[in-house]
Amino acid sequence: MMRSRKFRDTAFILHRYIGLAIGILIAFVGLTGSLLVFKPEMAQFLITQQVGSIVPQQQIISLDAVVETAKSANANRPDLKLDSLRFPVTANSPYEVGFFDAANQLTRIFIHPYTGAILGQNESDSSFERIVLRLHYGLLLGRNGEILVGISGLLLFILCITGLILWPGWRKLIPGFKIKWDGHPKRFNFDIHKVAGIVTSIFLAFTAFTGFCWNFSDWSYPLIYAVTFTAELPEVTSQPIANQTPLKPSQLLQISNNVFPDAKTFSLSIPSKPEDAVYIRKRQNHEIFYGESGVYLDQYSGEVLRVVNSLKFPLADKVFSAFTYLHYGTFWGLNSRILYVFVGLSPTILLITGFVMYRYRHRKNKQKDVMREAHLS
């Protein structure tokens, strides 16, 4: 009994002071996370607002023409390097061609999929959804911000564990989920904290741990490979052939379609070096927005260098895939995504109610000290 009490006391101290130390930061990360739950839809909406409505037609222009149009559009910008091409998400969406400059800033060109006309161009790192994303994982502070958010993710994970330990419902289940709406403000505040905490704690723990691993992927990924006994695959490269130019994008696309005949093509990488391989990302029917499958191809011979099939992932890659579903809340489709909007809001609720609880306890202890001093005098 004594050991159990000491364990709970330790959990309480950790829970209180970690919450006070990082509560505001976690609340901010949670709020930006709520905004990003529907990031794909948000991004498409903003693109539509910029380029206007596209009326589907019978014939789509060739992939090669899209690439050449994009190159010509930035022919006077040698600082921009062609990086990738995203295929239209729907019949009403444009092609998106991405360029990066020396500072690794992204610029996108939008091209009409039926006429080949350039519909617009933007500095994507200054777009609303990109700013929210960078705020979410790095506070716009570069690597230092990523480290800070990553550490906060680990501390949030500890908060979730200690909150689970302290939840009063372990003693009596029903009262653990009950909110006394007409109770004293102190009791009402506590009930909101305990119910909001227990309902969202597991999901917050998922997002906290996966975010921590992503922000420290340089060592967390090798560790996951090691503990799952999964071998890290070597980098694939193209073999330059003398006096031979790379294959056209349309030729490489056809090869990838032969590998995944029933999958939808999401994007195609454009090699910046002679030895770079081409990666064509595919989305199979069971996968989420951006697709998890794909094909690495030699840009000169078209040889299939590696097939990435999410149905045949080794254990470590299954873990990484699960990270995506758990962090973005896509494991139950639309229902879990809506749930994650509220999960992102919960740190703000927990911060406010937790601070009120702390103030009540601080005031009570102060009153005790006053009474003790009065008694001694």
Q: What is the CATH number of the domain that holds 92?
A: 3.10.450
Q: Is residue 367 part of a domain?
A: yes
Token pair 């494991």 is found at: 331
Q: Are residues 83 and 126 in the same domain?
A: yes
Give the count of beta carbons closer than 10 Å to the beta carbon of residue 207. Answer: 26
Q: Is residue 323 part of a domain?
A: no
Q: Are residues 126 and 242 in the same domain?
A: no
For residue 74, what pLDDT is reported?
87
Query: Could you read off the pLDDT of 198-207 as tens digits, one per residue?
Result: 999 999 999 9
| Residue of 243, 257, 237, 235 lying closest to 299 (CA atoms) | 237
For residue 376, what pLDDT is reported?
45
Q: Are residues 156 and 113 in the same domain?
A: no
Q: Is residue 49 part of a domain?
A: yes
Structure tokens that stand for 343 in this block: 């999960």
Contact yes or no for 65/118 (Cβ under 8 A) = no
This prediction's pTM: 0.88
Terminal CA-to-CA distance of the chain, rounded, Å?
Answer: 37
For residue 370, what pLDDT is reported?
45
Q: Is residue 320 part of a domain?
A: no
Cα torsion angle, 306, 310, 316, 322, sign: positive
Q: Pick from 105, 132, 159: which residue ends a domain?
A: 132
For residue 32, what pLDDT is reported?
97
Q: Are residues 211 and 354 in the same domain?
A: yes
Percent of the chain with pLDDT over 90: 74
Q: Is residue 34 part of a domain?
A: no
Position 349, amino acid: I
Q: Pick from 84, 100, 132: which residue ends a domain?
A: 132
Q: Are residues 72 and 201 in the same domain?
A: no
Q: What is the Cα–Cα distance from 12 to 162, expressed in whole angstroms?
A: 7
Query: Could you read off the pLDDT of 246-298 as tens digits, one per residue?
Result: 999 999 999 999 999 999 999 999 998 999 999 999 999 999 888 999 999 99
Q: Are residues 125 and 145 in the same domain?
A: no
Q: Is residue 210 part of a domain?
A: yes
Structurally, how many domains does the chain consist of? 3
Q: Are residues 152 and 73 in the same domain?
A: no
Q: Are residues 148 and 277 in the same domain?
A: no
**Ranges of the chain with pLDDT below 50:** 370, 374-377
Q: Are residues 190 and 203 in the same domain?
A: yes
Q: Are residues 239 and 303 in the same domain?
A: yes
Kind and range of the H or E run holding 293: strand 293-297
Query: Could you read off the pLDDT of 305-353 as tens digits, one per residue?
Result: 999 999 999 999 999 999 999 999 999 999 999 999 999 999 999 999 9
Cα torsion angle, 271, 277, 278, 282, sign: negative
For 297, the domain range is 233-313
Q: Are residues 45 and 108 in the same domain?
A: yes
* Helix and strand numbers, DSSP H then E, in the chain: 11, 8
Q: What is the Cα–Cα distance from 78 to 76, expressed in whole angstroms?
A: 6
Q: Are residues 239 and 287 in the same domain?
A: yes
Q: Pick from 76, 111, 132: which residue ends a domain?
A: 132
Q: Is residue 361 part of a domain?
A: yes
